[in-house]
Structure 1
Amino acid sequence: MIVGIQECRCRVIGSASLKDKRRVVKSGLDRIRHRFNLSVAEVDFQDDRQLTTLAMVGVGSGKHVVERELRQALRLLENLDGLEVLDAEITYA
């Protein structure tokens, strides 16, 4: 069993309030939850209107399976309107 954890530090573009930020972040989290077999949450910068850190976790029988899901979820975030991925890192347990 492999557990993969991906942390993505992102900037919310054009966010003037926490409400604007939450709309963009919620859209991304909902899309990942519905398209991939991953758990996802906002884990840092909850009170900052322009920065966020999103964490995605997947469990699988092999590293390649988990890594593929995490990479596809990262591509989804990179193509999300209003969100810029600044940094992403995958660790395995």
Structure 2
Amino acid sequence: MNVYVGIQECEGRIIGSTSLKEKRRVIKSGISRIQHRFNLSVAEVGFQDDRQRTRLAMAGVGSSKKVVEQELRQALRLLEELDGLEILHAELSFV
């Protein structure tokens, strides 16, 4: 049996954020939506102290590479549609 672990990393800009509190509100909203909608782990993994930038990572595990990839891509689309967040770069990989 094959096990696939997919990781989606993305860098983004928090639009109009003037404080870490505003940034965290936007990030928490995105993380919460992903966790409730998809079977993925997600966390902010970079730029925690920068009020206008973020690096998020999402991970999924499954027996089908296609299913894991599809969930990660849908989660990225959700982030792209999130008010206040502009995704600048995203990279999907399997380990």
TM-score by length of 2: 0.97
Partner of 1:41: 43
Q: Distance in 1 between matches of 2:91 and 2:10?
A: 7
Q: How does 1:1-93 map to 2 (within 5 A)?
A: 1-93=3-95
Identity of aligned residues (%): 73
Using the TM superposition, give the Cα deviation of residue 18 of structure 1 relative to its aligned residue in structure 2, in angstroms.
Answer: 0.3
CA offsets 1:28-76 (integer angstroms, 9 cap, x no match): 0000000000000000000000000000000010110100000000000
Using the TM superposition, give the Cα deviation of residue 84 of structure 1 relative to its aligned residue in structure 2, in angstroms.
Answer: 0.2
TM-score by length of 1: 0.99
Structure 1's unaligned 5+ residue stretches are: none
Structure 2's unaligned 5+ residue stretches are: none
Q: Distance in 2 between matches of 1:20 and 1:64?
A: 35
Aligned-residue RMSD, C-alpha: 0.4
Q: Distance in 1 between matches of 2:19 and 2:7?
A: 29
Moved over 3 A (4+): none
